[in-house]
Amino acid sequence: MANDTGGLRGLVAILLLVMFIATCGSARDPVKYSLANQNEGSKRKPSNSNPPPKPSPKPNMRSKPKPTLNREPTPSPTPAPPAIKRGSTFSVLDYGAKGDGVTEDTEQWQAFLDAWGAACHHEAPSAMLVPSNREFLVGPISFSGPCEPNIVFQLDGTIIAPTSAKAWGTGRLQWLEFRVLEQVKIQGRGTIEGRGSVWWSNTQYLLSNSLDTKLSGNLPHTRPTALRFYGSSKVTVTGITIQNSQQCHLKFDSCQAVEVSGVTISSPGDSPNTDGIHLQNSVGVTIRNADMACGDDCISIQTGCSNIQIQNVKCGPGHGISIGGLGKGNTQAAVSDVTVQNADLVGTLTGVRIKTWQGGSGYAKGFRFSNIKVSQVMTPIVIDQFYCEQTKCKNQTSAVALSDITYDGVVGTYTVQPVRLACSDSKPCSGIHLSDIQLQGAQQRGKILDPFCWKAFGDIKGPTEPPIHCLQ
């Protein structure tokens, strides 16, 4: 029994010695051990139960297999939802418009409305396109909101007004209208052609004009504005041309934050009541780099306007840049903070003018006219509180109060009278400031008049040409 026990112990000792030698041999070649362990580990599937025992520090650095994309995928960004296409342009041609300058039917009108509707309700930014090298004959139309903000009306082609009486019905106040919009932009190098000669009373336009076809039927008495914006904010109009309007070319009514730049307005000097840009009940308007020729005021500013900036504009032919007429029909006026700077006026009826009707009330104040250049202008500086469009108007006591008016740097030539300040007896003009007035009478037939003032109070800085002694 003892011999058996001793033999068993000897056998155990031999086995321990063999294991010790095998272990030492593996330790002498760690690279083989690491590779073997890595290969073996790649064959084994990870267990969801207890984690395996930690290997010795050195083999662990080499034997731990690197993760691969197949084993543990890296999270990817959430894909964008499909179907929504941003920044789409909707051409009127895709909605059935002909663009031949002749077709005038319901489908043509509907194509413009459909293209507008698609752009209006599409996620911003979106645009309605009137493509170049095309002429579209379109009747009276209104592009209404509300729409998604930042909508663009891209005018590259030409929109032509119809001349048939049928297209106008009993009369329209506007031809192309944009209503109740926010952040809308009208841009491009295209043209809005009003073909207004068929509306003008001057017979020379009715008898011969290369642009217009023969008048079909009797047009209504009411003449429309070519392009009107109503009840809109953050409006931009840039680059386009508006010509031969039936009446006013471009009108803003009850709008806020308006910018007009780089536009061209063109009508003959004797086309009746064809104002260039007309503002009423609008606040925060900037007009710059505009070139205007028309048969009435190049820019007309009516009641309800304030914070108006006019810069780097050209006017002529036309009636000049005017505030008013205010107070017509015994109404109350409110106009303030108007600046006109760097304006060139050539061959116009007046330069910069303020006109009010007798019988009106309210106020007009805070006007500054600076760096105004005039050439062959009949009367460059005008305040007329006895304005009357009829042959004779009734004398009335009530008047719009005028105050805080500055003329600085009005230079050039005149043909009739350099300055005319005709203020109300009951509401004299106050706070008129004149400086750097240099006006030379042009060599014209007829009598040149001296400066005229009536109930006008203010001051003059420095010498003027001609001398203005009448200001009180």
Q: What is the pLDDT of the chain when averaged over all its residues?
A: 84
Domain that holds residue 315: 297-390+400-472
pTM, 2 dp: 0.79
pLDDT at site 369: 98
Q: Find the mean pLDDT for residues 353-358.
A: 97
* Residue 320: CATH number of its domain: 2.160.20.10
Domain total of the chain? 1
- Res. 10: pLDDT tops 60: no
Task: Provide the pLDDT for residue 166.
Answer: 85
Least confident of 41-50, 125-134, 327-336, 372-381: 41-50
A 10 A CB-CB count for 29 gives 11
In a domain, 357, yes or no: yes
- Asked, for residue 364, whether it belongs to a domain, the answer is yes
221 labelled catalytic: no
On whether residue 338 sits in a domain, the answer given is yes
pLDDT at 106 over 90: no
pLDDT tens by residue, 189-231:
999 999 999 999 643 444 444 344 344 457 888 899 999 999 9
3-state DSSP of 10-65: HHHHHHHHHHHHHHHHHHHCHHHHHHHHHHHHHHCCCCCCCCCCCCCHHHHHHHCC
pLDDT of residue 391: 83
Residue 7: its pLDDT value, please? 53
The answer, yes or no, to whether residue 457 has pLDDT greater than 80, is yes
450 part of the active site? no
Letter string b/e over residues 99-124, b meaning 16 or more CB atoms within 10 A of that residue's CB: beeeebeeebbebbbbbbbbbbebeb
Q: Which of 122, 249, 278, 319 is catalytic?
A: 319
Evaluate whether residue 244 is within a structural domain.
no
Q: What is the pLDDT of residues 37-79, one digit of tens each?
A: 444 344 444 444 444 444 444 444 444 444 443 343 433 443 4
Identify whether 368 is part of a domain: yes
Q: 275-333: per-residue pLDDT in tens?
A: 999 999 999 999 999 999 999 999 999 999 999 999 999 999 999 999 999 999 999 99
> Average pLDDT, stretch 155-175?
91
Q: Which of 296, 297, 384, 404 is catalytic?
A: 296
Percent of the chain with pLDDT over 70: 78
Whether 56 is in a domain gets the answer no
Q: Would 64 be classed as within a structural domain?
A: no
More reliable by pLDDT, 445 or 155: 155
**DSSP reduced 3-state for 321:** strand
267 lies in some domain: no
Give the model's confidence band at 107: pLDDT under 50 very low, under 70 low, under 90 confident, else very high.
Answer: confident
